[in-house]
């Protein structure tokens, strides 16, 4: 496993991850275990009719997570000038079940996957912004799951944080990968460590029992040729394309130059999603307020 180009079938990707974890380059990488509360949340949300009382009990198990829900529900994004929510029940009513689960997922992920490096400053802040942008676009695009989009946005770059914590010399690789112009970011990672953050991030998703489509999309999020060749499943392609737009919006909001992925494949991503230039601009205006509220 030295590149991020193959395979593209979801089942093949899952098999590849399992094999690499067993006796390949991922064997010694330490993946944080999925939090027990997240496992409970996943079980509750997977029911045909999710148990609201169970979700509320999970939220109440952790004081800091309860505070995160109250803070989110009282943010300008949801409060809209109303009376502040003071209980978990009031927060859940205001957020709705899907947004409640999304806030809890983000909180648990940040607690489990630590980021201490100065080279990954604002890591979870940017993951949260990407997830919000993904959820926003999912509400605009027909047939796209808001939950899958948000989860993909949150975990897309989780491999960076995990490699920074568990791979010797990776922080030096981060500096080198950002500086080199003769090869891509993942090519530098693979040259130095025989794997890359897309693969490691997909393994995190696999270990944490996230959706197989999310897992595959994380694995392929730098293999953007799939958008032209249509080699991967449609849902995977859609998540990858949306992720490219989310990063475009974040960089615009932060006043940064667009990266090589957008410059080379941005138009292809828009074509895959059937998003026009006018829509791209209009969505940016709406997302600005969301980003600032976050």
Could you list the beta-strand ranges (E) of the chain: none
d(CA 271, CA 255): 25
38 φψ region: left (φ > 0), alpha (ψ -120 to 50), beta (else): alpha
- Average pLDDT for 13-29: 87
Counting other chains too, the contacts that 263-269 makes at CB distance below 8 Å and 24 or more residues apart are 264/224, 265/224, 265/227, 268/224, 268/227, 268/228, 268/241, 269/224, 269/227, 269/240, 269/241, 269/242, 269/244, 269/245
pTM equals 0.91
Instruction: Return the pLDDT at 7.
Output: 55
Q: Considering the chain, what is the average pLDDT of its residues?
A: 91
pLDDT tens digit string along 118-177? 889 899 999 999 999 999 999 999 999 999 999 999 999 999 999 999 999 999 999 999
Instruction: Return the pLDDT at 232.
Output: 57
- Average pLDDT for 181-190: 93
Instruction: Return the pLDDT at 8.
Output: 61
pLDDT of 5 higher than 60 = no
pLDDT tens digit string along 60-93? 999 999 999 999 999 888 876 678 999 999 999 9
**Computed over its alpha carbons, how large is the radius of gyration of the chain?**
19
**DSSP state letter for 184:** -
pLDDT of 287 higher than 60 = yes
Please say whether the beta carbons of 176 and 188 come within 8 A: yes
* Site of tokens 């949260």: 128
pLDDT of 4 higher than 50 = no
């Amino acid at each position: 496993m030295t590149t991020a180009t193959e395979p593209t079938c979801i089942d093949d990707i899952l098999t590849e991850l399992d094999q690499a974890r067993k006796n390949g380059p991922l064997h010694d990488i330490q993946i944080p275990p999925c939090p027990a509360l997240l496992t409970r949340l996943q079980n509750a949300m997977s029911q045909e009719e999710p148990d609201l009382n169970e979700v509320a009990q999970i939220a109440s198990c952790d004081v800091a997570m309860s505070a995160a829900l109250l803070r989110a529900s009282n943010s300008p994004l949801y409060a809209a000038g109303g009376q502040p929510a003071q209980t978990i029940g009031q927060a859940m009513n205001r957020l709705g079940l899907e947004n409640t689960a999304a806030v809890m997922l983000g909180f648990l992920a940040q607690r489990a996957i630590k980021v201490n490096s100065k080279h990954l400053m604002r890591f979870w802040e940017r993951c949260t912004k990407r997830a919000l942008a993904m959820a926003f676009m999912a509400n605009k695009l027909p047939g796209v799951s808001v939950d899958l989009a948000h989860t993909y946005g949150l975990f897309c770059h989780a491999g960076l944080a995990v490699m920074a914590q568990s791979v010797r010399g990776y922080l030096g690789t981060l500096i080198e990968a950002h500086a080199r112009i003769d090869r891509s970011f993942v090519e530098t990672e693979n040259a130095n460590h025989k794997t890359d953050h897309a693969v490691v991030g997909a393994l995190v998703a696999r270990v944490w029992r996230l959706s197989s489509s999310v897992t595959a999309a994380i694995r392929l999020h730098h293999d953007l040729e799939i958008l032209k060749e249509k080699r991967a499943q449609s849902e995977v392609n859609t998540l990858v394309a949306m992720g490219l737009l989310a990063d475009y919006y974040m960089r615009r909001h932060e006043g940064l130059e667009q990266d090589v992925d957008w410059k080379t494949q941005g138009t292809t991503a828009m074509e895959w999603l059937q998003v026009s230039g006018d829509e791209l601009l209009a969505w940016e205006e709406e997302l600005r307020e969301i980003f600032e509220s976050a």
